[in-house]
């Protein structure tokens, strides 16, 4: 039996980052990834804020493909508002390389990385956990970290709560596009992406290559594939997509609605496994890494103290909730309102946001990672937006 201080299930960016942080302190760490290759298959649009790189020791230039200064938001009837344009608000990353760099860093710091080696079962025995893997290894660890994505087996195995919602995502890598590389194009409306939105993001500085995609709610009239096919052919995307070629399809799940409990004795769940994802954008890399830092520091403290009880590990829940719990909670409140809007209402509000004074407020205060920061300045400028805002924020 192989023995580790910490076993991490899932070699995505969140598991990889935690492995780095814990191995840095010279504890024995292993990462188990069921896929053959880290970072593959890709199921992400690859848009992150620059602050993501503050967490990581990886060469930024090798993974950043493009810089984004603003967004054009398209209403269901084809009206467009432009926000930002003033500075770099987001970066487009090569997600496969990003995951690989994070894992390489963990390996450099001393973590053992096992690929093509899924965790099949986990059992708590006295004060440790025993795992069985698909390569027939028996593993014993003091702490088990589930960073195994939206449908986390570790979350289920230890009877932790489920996310509230699972969005279905689909997209593609495209060449021969005709885009302004500085702006992402966002499309809302029930016929385009019911329950969420569609996007086009230039992945190079010429606007000739892109990632396009959409997410939709769990229950919709058509399949994700059908919505995506309609989106590519839509009259609103025609000018960007006239002669495109699709080089690769992507698909994935976005879990929303954080868990009330993300720990148990000897066990922590993190990242998509804990639905630490922004409900307004579906972005999980920033929120996941923020929570990964808390997961790492509490794990290190537990190892130093030899205390793996749920009484001690609940500190992780407290810390990540203080960092981003309120933002994610408010995000779900907004999501409820967003889902209830008809296309007519989308048109009406987007028309309101076309007012240069309002779009200037969005440009100044908008923050993809902390969208709730926008509410107070927006309400000050346009009090009639009050009916769109959940009560909690104005308290």
Using CB under 6 A, list all residues that contact ligand FAD: 9-15, 32-35, 43-48, 118-119, 147-149, 153, 169, 171, 213, 252-254, 271-272, 277, 282-286, 288
Minimum distance, C-beta of residue 376 to ligand FAD, in the bound complex (Å): 25
Q: How far is the CB of 377 from ligand FAD (least distance, A)?
A: 24
Nearest residue to ligand FAD, scored by beta-carbon proximity: 284
CB of 43 to ligand FAD, least distance (A): 5
Nearer to ligand FAD, 131 or 300 (CB): 131
Identity of the residue, 292 or 300, whose beta carbon is nearer to ligand FAD in the bound complex: 292
357: its two tokens: 């004074």
Q: Dihedral angle at the C-alpha atoms of 240, 242, 243, 248, nearest 10 degrees?
A: 50
Residue (156 or 382) nearer to ligand FAD, CB: 156
Range 373-380 contact pairs with CB under 8 angstroms and sequence separation of 24 or more: none
Nearer to ligand FAD, 290 or 378 (CB): 290
User: Distances from the Cα of 78 to the Cαs of 185, 201, 226, in angstroms?
Assistant: 12, 18, 20
Q: How far is the CB of 162 from ligand FAD (least distance, A)?
A: 15
Question: Which one, 262 or 358, has the nearer CB to ligand FAD?
Answer: 262
Residue 334 beta carbon to ligand FAD: minimum distance, rounded to whole angstroms: 18
DSSP assignment of 104-161 equals HHHHHTT-EEE-S--EEEEEEETTEEEEEETT--EEEEEEEEE---TT-HHHHHTTPP
| CB under 8 A, 24+ apart: contacts of 226-230 | 227/170, 227/192, 227/193, 227/194, 227/198, 228/170, 228/171, 228/172, 230/191, 230/192
CB 8 within 8 A of CB 19: yes
Largest distance between two CA atoms of the chain: 65
Nearer to ligand FAD, 83 or 139 (CB): 139
Closest approach of ligand FAD to the CB of residue 185, in Å: 14
């Amino acid at each position: 039996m192989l023995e580790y201080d910490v076993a991490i299930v899932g070699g995505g960016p969140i598991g990889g980052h935690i492995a780095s942080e814990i191995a840095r302190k010279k504890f024995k760490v292993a990462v188990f990834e069921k896929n053959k290759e880290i970072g593959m298959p890709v199921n992400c649009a690859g848009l992150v804020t620059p602050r993501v790189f503050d967490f990581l020791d990886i060469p930024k230039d090798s993974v950043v493909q493009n810089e984004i200064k603003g967004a054009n938001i398209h209403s269901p009837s084809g009206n467009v508002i432009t926000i930002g344009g003033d500075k770099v608000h987001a970066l487009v990353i090569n997600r496969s390389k990003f995951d690989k760099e994070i894992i390489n860093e963990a390996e450099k710091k001393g973590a053992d990385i096992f690929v093509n080696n899924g965790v099949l079962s986990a059992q708590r025995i006295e004060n440790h956990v025993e795992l069985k893997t698909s390569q027939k290894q028996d593993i014993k660890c003091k702490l088990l970290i589930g960073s195994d994505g939206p449908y986390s087996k570790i979350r289920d195995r230890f009877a932790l709560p489920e996310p509230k919602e699972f969005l279905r995502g689909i997209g593609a890598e495209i060449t021969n596009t005709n885009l302004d590389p500085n702006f992402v194009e966002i499309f809302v409306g029930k016929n385009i992406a019911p329950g969420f939105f569609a996007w086009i993001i230039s992945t190079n500085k010429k606007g000739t290559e892109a990632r396009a995609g959409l997410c939709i709610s769990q229950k919709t009239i058509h399949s994700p594939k059908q919505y995506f096919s309609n989106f590519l052919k839509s009259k609103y995307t025609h000018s960007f997509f006239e002669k495109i070629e699709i080089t690769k399809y992507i698909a994935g799940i976005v879990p929303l609605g954080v868990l009330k409990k993300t720990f148990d004795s000897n066990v922590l769940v993190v990242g998509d496994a804990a639905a630490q994802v922004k409900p307004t954008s579906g972005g999980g890399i920033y929120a996941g890494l923020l929570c990964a830092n808390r997961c790492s520091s509490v794990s290190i403290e537990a190892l130093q103290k030899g205390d793996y009880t749920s009484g001690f590990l609940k500190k992780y829940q407290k810390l990540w909730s203080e960092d981003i719990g309120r933002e994610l909670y408010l995000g779900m409140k907004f999501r409820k309102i967003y889902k209830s809007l008809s296309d007519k209402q989308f048109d009406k509000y987007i028309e309101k946001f076309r007012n240069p004074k309002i779009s200037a407020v969005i440009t100044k205060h908008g923050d993809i990672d902390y969208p709730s920061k926008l509410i107070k300045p927006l309400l000050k400028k346009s009090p009639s937006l009050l009916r769109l805002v959940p009560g909690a924020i104005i308290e």
